[in-house]
Amino acid sequence: MSDIAYQTKRSQLEQACIHILLGLVAFAALFPLVYVAIVSITPLSEVARNGGFSILPRQVTFGAYEAVFASPLVPKALQVTILVTVVGTLANLMFTALLAYPLSKRSLPMRSVILLFLLFTLVFGGGLIPTYLVVHATGLVNTLFALFVPTLVNTFYLLIMKTFFESLPEELIEAARIDGYGEFRLLFSVVLPLSKPVMATMALFYGVAHWNEFFAGIIYINDSNLMPLQVVLRNMLAGSTISSELQTLNPQLAAKLPGETFKMALVVVSTMPIMFVYPFLQKYMTQGMMLGAIKG
């Protein structure tokens, strides 16, 4: 066998090993998600008969999802979470951009001092009690604003956005200034349209955080009508909400409430919406993270 043929065969073998390895990694990543979705539509008796493990169900039932949405708190919590995710993410992006843009300019007075204060917050936090006292003093307790205003600007995301703004061509900004653009018009008409990758990345980060909001919901919200989805689903999983609501609305369904399938249905309800959004932002997310890391 010639050296060229040997190298070609070796290269093909290496490529085959790489593809097999990547396939195994992809299977390990996707299988838990598929398994959760399958168990959520499998009858509890079949799951129990298979020792708690079911891949190809003989029957399909949506009783677990019926049990989840039988509580009137779930639609309300879903509306609250969607509202907080949309409004909170837009507010996060706006205020983060308004702070990151001036900090990206080296001519800003006291720029180093402001950055030092921001970096200080990454190392030292105010603590739970002082934060709650501030939220309470500003009248945000038991309001939807408490779910996103205290975390309006994330310092780490701010630094990524600032670094991205610094990588933009200065010639375009100077040309816009010559055309008479003010700083606000320059930001919203020139800088932000050029910053779609980093804005999509930050939108995904902020949006996922708001969708999964749990801690702020149990600390600042006492009204059951204002609780986010994750808090309501946790209460249902613990049995505190589902027992009272279903016993009143549907006693027969409460008596046949599926155990493991119910848990898996809660996982699907709480994770699938954000998973459907992720593929549309993935390419912007990767590009934004790479470009945002060009400069230090």
pLDDT for residue 58 = 77
Place of tokens 């309470």: 136
Contact 67, 246 (CB under 8 A): yes
- Would you say residue 261 lies in a domain? yes
Verify that 102 and 8 share a domain, yes or no. no
- Say yes or no: 104 and 154 in one domain: yes
Q: Is residue 198 part of a domain?
A: yes
> Total structural domains in the chain?
2
Quote the CA–CA distance of 295 and 6 in Å, as a whole number: 44
Determine the Cα–Cα distance for residues 59 and 39; give it in Å rounded to an integer: 11
29 and 151 inside one domain: no
User: What's the one-letter identity of residue 138?
Assistant: T
One domain for residues 94 and 153? yes
Residue 20 lies in a domain: yes
15, 129: one domain: no
Residues in the chain with pLDDT < 50? Answer: 240-244, 246-247, 249, 253-258, 292-296
Residue 100 structure tokens: 């990151």
How far is the C-alpha of 272 from the C-alpha of 33, rounded, in Å? Answer: 10
- Asked if residue 267 and residue 148 are part of one domain, the reply reads yes
**Is residue 227 a contact partner of residue 217, using CB atoms and an 8 Å limit?**
yes
Domain ranges, residue 244: 63-291
* Domain presence at residue 284: yes
Give me the pLDDT at residue 123, please. 84
**Dihedral sign, CA of 234, 239, 240, 245?**
positive
Residue 20: the pLDDT is 92
Shared domain check, 158 and 16: no
- Which residue bears the tokens 């990758």? 197
pLDDT for the residue 254:
46
* Same domain assignment for residues 21 and 148: no
CB contact set of 277 (below 8 Å; sequence gap of 6+): 204, 207
**Is residue 16 domain-shared with residue 88, that is, in the same domain?**
no
CATH number of the structural domain spanning residue 120:
1.10.3720.10
pTM confidence score: 0.77
- Are 149 and 282 contained in the same domain? yes
